[in-house]
Amino acid sequence: MGFRGCRSGYWKRIIHYSLASRSSNGLRDRVFSLIGGLKMSAGKKITICVEGNIGSGKTTLLDHFAQFPEVKTISEPVNKWRDAGGHNLLELMYSDPARYSCMFQSYVQLTMMDNHTAPVEKPIKMMERSIHSGRYCFIENLHRGGLMADAEYAVLDQWFQWITANVNVQPDLIVYLRTSPEVALERIRRRSRDEERAIPESYVRALHELHEDWLVRRAQFPVPCQVLVLDADQDLSLLKEEFNVRKQEILCRSEVKSPVKSDRPAAASAAAV
């Protein structure tokens, strides 16, 4: 989506969200059980964000739950990043990250905010990644790696802080597909996607540590909601079985009907972003 796609309908949705969405009433709608489960109040639509490293199985999880009639899955807006007013921002980012990382990540924040605020008719919205991982993992990684200037980092952080304070980008649950760097690298090599060929091992390892710092160790950045950690090192066929076994946890204990055949197209890869 270029800026052409961000006109009246988009901004009307932004205006309708306010700090009221983060009120105590909203907080009371989320009830955490003593064993770490999550149950949503009747009639409340919920948002689940699927987080994890490149090659962690996010597409596999989204494809699995797209079969359920109550679930609307939303992939990362990679196609929008490839066509912002006719410009391929993803390609520019790959070609010269030191020059284009700030510009690219600012557009990532915009399009991820669009995903968060997009209205859906189904009771469960399941997103691939979130605006939060964009800030705490990807922007952080670029800055720490010397590919983003301090001033650019400060601007993106202030933009992120404004969004989270004024726009409803609050998920109800994060599903973290926890994958070791070795397994992630092997999957990346095995699927051999064009945009992932140049990803260095150091990049995958750095992203792993940032995800761990954020969602497991909780060492630096705030976690916006409860986190469900799944062992995604196992074979993808076994991982699908675990999705079934832990369906109620993953879907916030929502009641769902039997799955139907999905017409969801294969998700594009965000590769090294």
Active site residues: 128
**Distance from C-alpha of 118 to C-alpha of 22, rounded to nearest angstrom:** 17
**Distance from C-alpha of 174 to C-alpha of 229, rounded to nearest angstrom:** 8
Beta-bridge partners for 175: 50, 228
**Distance from C-alpha of 104 to C-alpha of 88, rounded to nearest angstrom:** 10
- Amino acid sitting at position 194: D
Q: How many residues are there in the chain?
A: 273
Dihedral of the CA atoms 183, 184, 186, 187 (nearest 10)? 120
**Distance from C-alpha of 57 to C-alpha of 7, rounded to nearest angstrom:** 33
Contacts of 44 (CB under 8 A, 6+ apart): 29, 123
Taking Cα atoms as reference points, which of 76, 72, 34 lies closest to residue 54? 76
Beta-bridge partners for 51: 176
Taking Cα atoms as reference points, which of 153, 50, 63 lies closest to residue 109? 153
Q: What tokens does 54 get?
A: 């490149």
DSSP E strands: which ranges in the chain?
A: 30-32, 38-40, 46-52, 71-74, 124-128, 173-178, 226-231
Q: What tokens does 42 get?
A: 């009747």
